[in-house]
Structure 1
Amino acid sequence: MLSIIRSDGNALWSNQIPNSPFCVRPIALVAQKENEKNTKFLMDLMINPEVTNIEKDGLKLPYGNVRVKILRTMFEGKMSGILSGAGGASCQLCTASFAELTDLALVRSGFPINRTITSAKEIFSTADTENYLLLPSKDRSGLIHEPRSEIDRILASRLHTYTCVFRWFMLLIYHISG
């Protein structure tokens, strides 16, 4: 079991199965709104420097050194949108528009997983950041702010994925019957 315990002995948080996709482990407990500004502060202050150091230097253990590659895959939808910059996108994995996601012929043919952090940074680099102007929305693939991560697949947990798939099917049924 993994726990965060206060100095008075009371548990603030505990997890019976720490590495399970059904349970999440907090990186920090912060009593602030989850938004782009606060996320940038936490990523720049705590997370990105630690991840960079661990991936560069590895872990030095008494029994030998271990190389580490961290896959950040357990972020929920809102955080995923903030970290990828694609908070206005219909899909966090592909660049399909909402109209394409509801086109039956396109749905049957499938969608490529083509949204990358590199492409998001390229789109953002064309923005006029001094005047806070991005490209017109049709050209920016749902990008609404600067990406805050270096990792491509910032996918939601299994529960959020099931919820998004269910929502997508409901929208599809609604459009087919409408």
Structure 2
Amino acid sequence: MFVPLSLKASTGEALWINQTPNSSHWCRPLALIAEKESKDLLSSVNAVFEPTEKHLQENGTTFEHNNVKYEVKICIESSMKDLKVRTAEAGLGGADCLLCTTRSSEWKDLSKLNDPNYFAITRSAEKTLDLYRQIVRDDGEVTKTKNDYATGQGLTSEPLSSDNHYITVTHQYINGVTWILKIIYHLRANVLNWSERGDIKDLIKKARTAVLIEIETKTGLRLDQMAATDKEYDHTRHTLPLALMNAIRPVFTELASQALKIRMKVFISILWSFAPKNRYYPGSIVDVCVALAVLVYNAGYQSIIPVVEQLTGDGSGYHTRVAMERCDKLRVYYEHKKRKADVRAKMTEEERKQQEEKEQDDDEQLDDSYLPGAY
């Protein structure tokens, strides 16, 4: 997801600042991927986007407005990658920290906590890549042995990104505030354990209300509340207001109709034939595949020929036309067989015999009543 944040002059003056960066008005998807997070997926995504990002940050861009040429320096921040993704990208699956080489046991040592330089940010992408080159085996795997943190520093695999190490604090802020509030609720209710059952749950609920009112009174902030009221957000299901139900019912009825389901299934199968769902594609390729699927869905494969002629500027070629004609004939042929089988399945044994006597069962006699999107 991409969103512009600000535009500043060379003097540092802010010419424009995005006041609502999380709004759907500004956010634009760079890629839509329906796949489980994995190292292979991260590697393929980074291979597509990181070179372009690096080029933009190093060279910027230029544009002309009212006969004046402007040079723009571009700063890109990856602000919403969670710790799981950052750990995989850095190859530091065995590290306690992505920013330094300290261990979690040291985080509880008061003498080290009081040292302002002990937990300095010392890890960098360059250092991690150098370390990987030193400890990687010929087969590409990282040598791992017991108690090797002093040498391996938690590096368990090849880094997937050359971007510098960092952590995104958005999730940490949200989770941290949530846990702090939960502790305050329990302390206010004098409940010194995490259990929230029976009467204890009611005590914590009352304490929660009192704490949130006090915070809002003193700071104006409404915390831990999803709704626009001072009540806790209700996650239970409720019937929609009658007026709203009457307004949206026709839309849902149409969307849920069997005819539309069949048409959508056909269209999606055509789209997947151009762009298989188990592969990654950039947005430009998805746009092309959707356009081709729309053409085939509405007017058959031969409708692609004029597009090919415009792209090549020198006709489409004999074999292209033959291939598209064959694709259309196959569509009609298989749909004809399917419809014929459906009709025969509904016949009685007597009707089936009469039908066989009446006409020869020949697959070459096709029903060519083609309808856009029918099959």
Give the structure-1-normalised TM-score. Answer: 0.69
Q: Which moved more, 1:35-44 or 1:136-145?
A: 136-145
Secondary structure at the residue paired with 1:86? Answer: coil
Secondary structure at the residue paired with 1:60? Answer: strand
Give the distance between the partners of 2:95 and 2:111, measured in 1 at CA: 21
Q: Does 1:60 align with 2:36?
A: no
Give the distance between the partners of 1:40 and 1:82, measured in 2 at CA: 10
Q: 1:133 aligns with which of 130, 142, 145?
A: 142
Q: Does 1:85 align with 2:91?
A: yes
Give the distance between the partners of 1:131 and 1:59, measured in 2 at CA: 38
Residues 57 and 67 of structure 1 are in contact (CA less than 8 Å); yes or no, is this contact kept in structure 2? yes
Q: 2:42 aligns with which of 25, 39, 44?
A: 39
Secondary structure at the residue paired with 1:109? Answer: coil
Structure 1: runs of 5+ lacking an equivalent: 4-15, 168-178
Instruction: Write the deviation string for residues 99-145 of structure 1: whole angstroms up to 9, x where unpaired.
Output: 22233322232411111111111111111151623254322111122
Residues 99 and 122 of structure 2 are in contact (CA less than 8 Å); yes or no, is this contact kept in structure 1? yes
Match of 1:72 in 2: 78
Secondary structure at the residue paired with 1:62? Answer: strand
Give the distance between the partners of 1:95 and 1:164, measured in 2 at CA: 23
- State the shift of 1:148 in Å: 2.2
The one-letter code sitting in structure 1 at the alignment partner of 2:131 is I
* Higher normalized contact order (CA 8 Å, seq sep 6+, divided by chain length): 1
Residues 94 and 115 of structure 1 are in contact (CA less than 8 Å); yes or no, is this contact kept in structure 2? yes
The one-letter code sitting in structure 1 at the alignment partner of 2:133 is S
- State the shift of 1:96 in Å: 0.5
Distance 1:25 1:146, change over 3 A: farther
Q: Does 1:149 align with 2:147?
A: no
Give the distance between the partners of 2:142 and 2:45, measured in 1 at CA: 25
- State the shift of 1:27 in Å: 4.2
Distance 1:95 1:123, change over 3 A: same
- State the shift of 1:84 in Å: 1.6
Q: 1:29 aligns with which of 16, 32, 37?
A: 32
- State the shift of 1:81 in Å: 0.7
Match of 2:237 in 1: none
Q: 1:107 aligns with which of 113, 123, 126?
A: 113
Match of 2:213 in 1: none
Residues 142 and 157 of structure 2 are in contact (CA less than 8 Å); yes or no, is this contact kept in structure 1? no
Secondary structure at the residue paired with 2:106? Answer: helix
Match of 2:246 in 1: none
Distance 1:100 1:25, change over 3 A: farther
The one-letter code sitting in structure 2 at the alignment partner of 1:128 is R
Residues 132 and 142 of structure 2 are in contact (CA less than 8 Å); yes or no, is this contact kept in structure 1? no
Higher helix share: 2
Distance 1:34 1:98, change over 3 A: same
Distance 1:90 1:164, change over 3 A: farther
Residues 84 and 154 of structure 1 are in contact (CA less than 8 Å); yes or no, is this contact kept in structure 2? no
Residues 59 and 73 of structure 2 are in contact (CA less than 8 Å); yes or no, is this contact kept in structure 1? yes
Secondary structure at the residue paired with 2:111? Answer: helix
Residues 87 and 98 of structure 2 are in contact (CA less than 8 Å); yes or no, is this contact kept in structure 1? yes
Give the distance between the partners of 2:158 and 2:42, measured in 1 at CA: 12
Residues 75 and 157 of structure 1 are in contact (CA less than 8 Å); yes or no, is this contact kept in structure 2? no
Structure 2: runs of 5+ lacking an equivalent: 4-18, 180-375
Residues 144 and 156 of structure 2 are in contact (CA less than 8 Å); yes or no, is this contact kept in structure 1? no
Higher-Rg structure is 2
Give the distance between the partners of 1:156 and 1:41, measured in 2 at CA: 21
